[in-house]
Amino acid sequence: MKTLFTRALMVVGLMISTLTFASSNYPVSEPMGGQAFGHSVKQISDGLYVFRWWVYRNIFIVTDEGVIVTDPLNPKAAKLLREEIRKVTDKPVKYVVYSHNHHDHISGGNIFKDEGAKFISHTNFVKEMKDHPSPVIPLPDITFDDSYTLELGGRTLELQYFGPNHGDSLIVMRLPKEKILFVVDIVTPRRVAFRIMPDFWPDEWVRSLKEIEQLDADYVITAHGPHTEPAIDTVSVVREQREYLEDLMAAVKKAMDEGVHSPDKLREMVKLPKYEHWRNYDIWLPMNIERIWAYYHMGW
């Protein structure tokens, strides 16, 4: 009896460990792959794929009733994306979800619009597109203010707006079953902020990341990264991005409080050795510093 009980415990333990492993068996250590200036696709889980074009990424979700596509990137990338989807399924693309208004992520959706896809975005996206229209960016069919739940073929994609941070229409997407986030531009693992932080609100960026950290998620797929970086990361990269911004802002403020007000001098003297191993540290950190100088000096 004791032997049977011991064996039963071992079987239960093995089942639990197997389930635990299966639930988190995502390729967090594998590079996205492909040629540096080409494109590649990596399957993350059942029906969930990451598509990369150069250093841009999106996700697409294949269901029994059709496909959900996020940012089409640009006309060339969108055509390649459509070809990759056709390798996986003959189901139509039913929805295209825009992350925000910046053209380098959202151009090229006509190829899906022509096939009947509906487009989804935050409400503010519409005004921004009217101010800066593009013939290769179809306007959305569905808009929302705070949150929207998209369901298709038994899959759920939650869309949430966190206020202004990078522009004023950026949304975060969450796959609740997989506990995976798709985050565009405001999190780029192991890389300092992009150049002069165009269209970023530094303080709101930090606030948004704090709120995103409270979401029920274990993993993050981000919209930038070379072919050498993983397709998916653990959710800790959200905190790491926030800490970088907080450290950057604190270092610039400290120097300014001590009497250094020249942006050129700040670019020379402010260093963040904790992040020396991050991509583009040497060339972009000075630009990041000047952007934070503007935030404190001009209120912009």
| Distant-in-sequence, close-in-space partners of 45: CB < 8 Å, separation ≥ 6 | 26, 178, 180
pLDDT of residue 25 exceeding 80, the answer is yes
| Distant-in-sequence, close-in-space partners of 297: CB < 8 Å, separation ≥ 6 | 256, 261, 263
Residue-level pLDDT at 6 = 40
User: CA geometry: angle at 62 spanning 59 and 64, to 5°?
Assistant: 160
| Distant-in-sequence, close-in-space partners of 190: CB < 8 Å, separation ≥ 6 | 229, 237, 240, 277, 278, 279
pLDDT digits (tens, 9 = 90+) for 71-83: 999 999 999 999 9
- Compute the half-sphere exposure of residue 47: CA atoms within 13 Å on the CB side of its CA: 19
Residue-level pLDDT at 2 = 40
pLDDT of residue 187 exceeding 60, the answer is yes
pLDDT digits (tens, 9 = 90+) for 234-272: 999 999 999 999 999 999 999 999 999 999 999 999 999
Q: For 224, which DSSP code?
A: B
Residue-level pLDDT at 13 = 43
Please provide the size of the chain in residues: 300
Give percent of the chain with pLDDT exceeding 70: 92
pLDDT digits (tens, 9 = 90+) for 127-136: 999 999 999 9
Helices and strands: H and E segment counts in the chain: 9, 13
Q: What is the mean pLDDT of residues 270-284?
A: 98
- Confidence grade of residue 24 (pLDDT, cut at 50, 70, 90): low
E strands within 102-218?
Answer: 118-122, 142-144, 147-152, 155-161, 171-175, 180-183
Q: What six digits make up the tokens of 180?
A: 């995976």
E strands within the chain?
Answer: 39-45, 48-53, 56-63, 66-70, 93-97, 118-122, 142-144, 147-152, 155-161, 171-175, 180-183, 219-222, 233-234
pLDDT of residue 20 exceeding 60, the answer is no
CA-to-CA distance for 241 and 206, rounded, in angstroms?
9
pLDDT digits (tens, 9 = 90+) for 74-123: 999 999 999 999 999 999 999 999 999 999 999 999 999 999 999 999 99
Among candidate residues 35, 37, 63, 36, the one with its CA nearest the CA of residue 49: 63
| Average pLDDT along the chain | 93
Cα–chain center distance at 91: 25
CA dihedral 187, 190, 193, 194 (to 10 degrees): -100
CA-to-CA distance for 55 and 70, rounded, in angstroms?
16
pLDDT digits (tens, 9 = 90+) for 209-233: 999 999 999 999 999 999 999 999 9
Among candidate residues 65, 86, 60, the one with its CA nearest the CA of residue 182: 60
- 145, 121 Cβ separation under 8 angstroms: no
- Compute the half-sphere exposure of residue 235: CA atoms within 13 Å on the CB side of its CA: 17
pTM, to two decimals: 0.91
Q: For 198, which DSSP code?
A: T
